[in-house]
Structure 1
Amino acid sequence: MTAREATDHTEASTQDDGSVKAAPSKGRSRFAALSTNRDFRLLWLGQASSEFGGSLTTLSVPLLAVALSGSPVAAGLLGSVGFVAMWLAQLPAGYLADLADRRLVMLWADAIRLVLMGLFAVLLVLDAGALWQLLVLTVVGSGLGVVFNAAQSQAMRIIVARDQIPEAVSITQARGFAISMAGPPTGGVLFAIGRAIPFVADTISYGVSMLFVWRIRTPLRPEQRPEARRLLPDLGRGWSELAGNAFLRGKTIYAAVTNLAVSALLYTVIIGYAEDSIVLGVALSAAAGAGLLGSLVAPLIMRRFPLRALLVGVAVLRGTTVALAAWTGNEILFAATLAVVMLAGPVVNAALATATVLYVDAEVMGRASSSSAFVSSVLQPVAPLLAGLMLHAWSPTLAQWTLAGGFALVAVCALALPGLGLRLDVEET
């Protein structure tokens, strides 16, 4: 039975190992139906533990880098290196997610990170930590995070009934926003108590994640087994799917432009308010809260609008908000635009993720998604530099109008790109 068939049952089915696959929800809340899906709960809780542990080191890593090197440049270098590691890991992660046992991939990714994080925590306790060790930890941890997430996406497709995918994607996003609100401040407090404490907590979180993943009963093995002589042809199938699938092509171009516009806005706010930590802190917290709210309402919105209308509407909303701030010249209003952007972000992300699950063949979804992500994220490193250059060369108002124009370009892309005219109100039949 293929992964797609495994999500198309109209009645609860029992697997060979005794696990029960949740029936599609009809006449009842899909969120409630997900709560009865044992394996989805295990997958969700395991990653929640891992994400929370990782969020504890979000502030601790740059703070430790500065403490070890005495230079803030080291913190920036670690961030850039981590991004490059994530970018380069996209393609092998997609290959593993398609052709290896997803349970084993997730367990190995967690196990390696647990060992490395634990060793580094011990070195910190012994006052033997070094910057190069933190660099290795960042590179390996970032790359394995991509590998884990790719396998998790394929696992969710198998575990969750097809008509519940939008809700599953949305509450997974909501988890991330909720953790981003609580984790970094908590990690900062723990770091102040002891440098090693956040890293010890992160180590424990990987162990908890492994325990949850290990208890998943649904078979997560792929139909096809990888062969060494088929490595390059199999890897190339992701690129072939991207080239031949109109939705994936449109999604990739749209995501590339959107990533640049949103990231440029984020860094314009951060750099522009770097000397006003109170306003910046409130803006970032409000943005995280808005993202949490957006994640919860995403399924309701997705099921009522075609994908193209949704993408165009979100881009227009974002651009209009930024333009209004530029027109009024109100700095507080401009900082608040970040919350509007993040409120709509989970709706767009959940819609595109759901469409990918529903309209891309399960056999090649991991490789196709990783190829798409590899291309669509290539412009993101430009965003911080672009924001800095705009604020250096132009007035804040002109920079804001430029950002508004960027979102107008996003709306044009969403309107014109073929393959985005899909509906997401998919029901089981």
Structure 2
Amino acid sequence: MTPAGGTEGAPVRPLWRERDFVVFWGAQTFSVAGDSFAYVAVPLLVLHVTGSVAQMGLLTGVAGVASIVAGLFAGALVDRFDRRALLIYCDLARVVSYGLIPLAWTFGPQVWLLYVVLPVSEAIGMVFQVTYVTAVRTLVRDDRVTEANGLLYATYAAAGIAGPLLAGLVTERFGATAAVAVNAASFAVSVVGIRLIRFGGQATAPDGQAVPARQGPWRELLAGVRFLWRHPVLRPLTVLLSFLVFLTYGLTDVLIYFFKHDLGRSDGEVGVILAIAGLGTIAGSLLAAPVRRRLWFGASWIGAQAVGALAMAGIGLSGDIPVITALAAAYLACASVAGISSMSLRQQVTPDRLLGRVTSAFWTIHNSTGPVGAALLTWMAGRYGAAEVFLLAGGGCLLIAVAALLTPVRRAAPEQPEHTV
């Protein structure tokens, strides 16, 4: 069987020699580095002003709801409009939205503004992320999708290490709003890079059939839902991830609260710890493709979820910073292996004409549990303690990994033709 986009017997060039992929790779690395500043700075802004981990969780939850709502129409936009233009417009909008925070804060703390900017930015980010997933499919051959995703996530993680480290230092020296300003600027750099990229055409489907007439957002979303439901592996995978997202969506806020409240660490130290833990994401991203080749899909996804769950529970059992940092790194490595395997499978088995809507439906469904989970977990951390939350979440995730063994998710190669619909 000849991989899509390739010619049988043709030499395989390293991805770093593919011009459009490399430009996309570099542009998004800058963007993720900036996102890492907001990843640290926004929760700290809330914590400094309110002192409440529940407020941190509420903001995360509200932003998550906005992302879910955006998912209703993101797939339809991506499947019908120019992907390059969508990426550029999304980044320009985020330059403006995040830029409002440091501007407004010059007149004093404006926590209310975060409840406007963050949801808007997350909604825009959902459109961007759906577009991003479909873009990767047009930049590399189908048989190299997992490799491409691994490289992208590895360098994103490398940027994510420098980001939290620098964000903690910038926040400690200049304030959290300065770190948010860096995030806004990073989106401008991303715009410049994306303007240099050429994506594949999408006016017609790969089989030559014309793109269907435009329908309402619900009908467009249902087209993606129907594909997920009919696919024997994507269906249970979506359900399992809905439970996983519920248990993990708010863990970053809980971890920051754990370091600040329970362990008494400074903003700079929090940035350093998160940066070191981010090494796990790099390791997992680079391991995703070889692990999937060796263990195939089912064992890779289920094994990564099980080991990650044990690492998460271990955080709740330790009060030692180096141990917690190592366990957080292990969890992030496992999350990368599982996440890249899942996303690559979806990219491989979905027709290009449906990929935006399927991605949108997939994320909308399983992310719908996240805001409630974030609000509940952060409330529990404030009420009962962060350690208890990590124990509970780790145990729940382990049960989900065990449950996956009873579903078609355990299949070795669901991307093969006999498993597609």
Cα separation, 1, equivalents of 2:380 and 2:176: 35
Structure 1 228/394 Cα, relative in aligned 2: closer, same or farther at 3 Å? closer
Shift of 1:369: 1.9
Do the aligned residues in 1 keep the contact of 2:301 with 2:342 (CA within 8 Å)?
A: no
1:302 and 1:425 in contact (8 A); partners too: no
Aligned to 1:276: 263
| C-alpha distance 108-389 of structure 1, shift in aligned 2 (>3 A) | closer
Closer, same or farther in 2 for the Cα pair 1:142/1:330, shift >3 Å?
closer
Range with greater deviation from structure 2 (329-338 or 99-108): 329-338
- Residue identity in the other structure for 1:275: D
Structure 2 unaligned runs (5+)? 205-209, 417-421
Find out whether 1:288 has 2:278 as its counterpart: yes
Gap change, CA 1:347 and 1:63, over 3 Å in 2: closer
The one-letter amino acid paired with 1:143 is: A
Q: Does 2:36 align with 1:46?
A: no
Match of 2:167 in 1: 187
Which of 7, 11, 14 matches 1:10?
7
The separation in 1 between residues aligned to 2:88 and 2:331, in whole angstroms, is 35
**Cα separation, 2, equivalents of 1:194 and 1:271:** 18
The equivalent of 1:14 in structure 2 is none
Aligned pairs, how many?
A: 402
Structure-2 change in CA distance of 1:390 and 1:172 (3 Å): same
Identify the match of residue 382 of structure 1 among 373, 391, 407: 373
Alpha carbons of structure 1 residues 226 and 425: separation in structure 2 relative to 1, 3 Å = closer
Residue from 231, 245, 267 that aligns with 1:245? 231
Q: CA deviation at 1:80?
A: 2.6
Give CA-to-partner distance per residue, 1:131-157, whole Å, 9 cap, x none.
443332212111111111111111110
Q: Which residue in 2 is equivalent to 1:338?
A: 328
Aligned-partner residue type, residue 22 of structure 2: R
Asked if 1:235 corresponds to 2:216, the answer is no
Tell me which residue corresponds to 1:17.
none
Residue in 1 that maps onto 2:121: 141
Deviations 1:297-332 (A, max 9, x none): 111111111211223322443455567788xx6544
Q: 1:129 to 1:38 in 2, by over 3 A?
A: farther
Equivalence for 1:349? 339
1:87 corresponds in structure 2 to: 68
Change (3 A) 1:246 1:71: same
* Residue identity in the other structure for 1:246: P
- In structure 1, runs of 5+ residues without a counterpart are 12-22, 27-31
Pair 1:232–1:401, CA change in 2 (3 A): closer
How far the C-alpha of 1:78 sits from its partner, in A, is: 2.8
Q: In structure 1, how many angstroms separate the alpha carbons of the residues matched to 2:18 and 2:44?
A: 40
Partner SS state of residue 197, structure 2:
coil
CA distance in structure 2 between the aligned counterparts of 1:199 and 1:268, rounded to whole angstroms:
20
Distance 1:65 1:387 in 2: 13
Structure 1 position 385, deviation (Å): 2.6
1:369 matched to which residue of 2?
359
Indicate which of 285, 290, 299 corresponds to 2:289. Answer: 299
Flag the 1:402–1:234 CA change in 2: closer, same or farther, 3 A: closer
Identity in percent: 24
Contact map agreement 1:321 1:340 (CA 8 A) in 2 = yes
* Distance apart, 1:395 and its partner CA: 12
Cα shift readout 1:266-303 (whole Å, capped 9, x = no counterpart): 67755555321459947644431112111111111111
Q: Deviations over 1:109-129 (max 9, x none)?
A: 11222233445544455x377
Counterparts of 1:134 and 1:53 in 2: how far apart (Å)?
17
**CA distance, structure 2, for counterparts of residue 132 and residue 324 of structure 1:** 36
Seen in structure 2, the aligned counterparts of structure 1 residues 350 and 266 have a Cα distance that, compared at 3 Å, is same
> Aligned equivalents of 1:394 and 1:121: distance in 2?
32
Alignment CA distance shift 1:232-1:304 (3 Å): same
The letter of the residue matching 1:359 is V
Give, in whole Å, the separation in 1 of the partners of 2:123 and 2:175. 27
Alpha carbon RMSD of aligned pairs, Å? 3.7
Q: How far apart, CA to CA, are the structure 2 residues paired with 1:395 and 1:179?
A: 27
2:44 and 2:385 mapped to 1: Cα distance?
A: 31
Q: Partners in 2 of 1:257 and 1:49 — Cα distance?
A: 32
Aligned-partner SS, 1:215: coil
Q: Does 1:169 align with 2:166?
A: no
Which of residues 272, 282, 299 is equivalent to 1:309?
299
Instruction: Give me the TM-score of the superposition, normalised by structure 1.
Output: 0.79
The more displaced of 314-323 and 335-344 is 314-323
Deviates most, 365-374 or 275-284: 275-284
User: Does structure 2 retain, via aligned residues, the 8 Å contact 1:117–1:202?
Assistant: yes
Q: Secondary structure at the match of 1:303?
A: helix
> Higher mean Cα deviation, 287-296 or 212-221?
212-221
Letter in 2 for 1:52: A
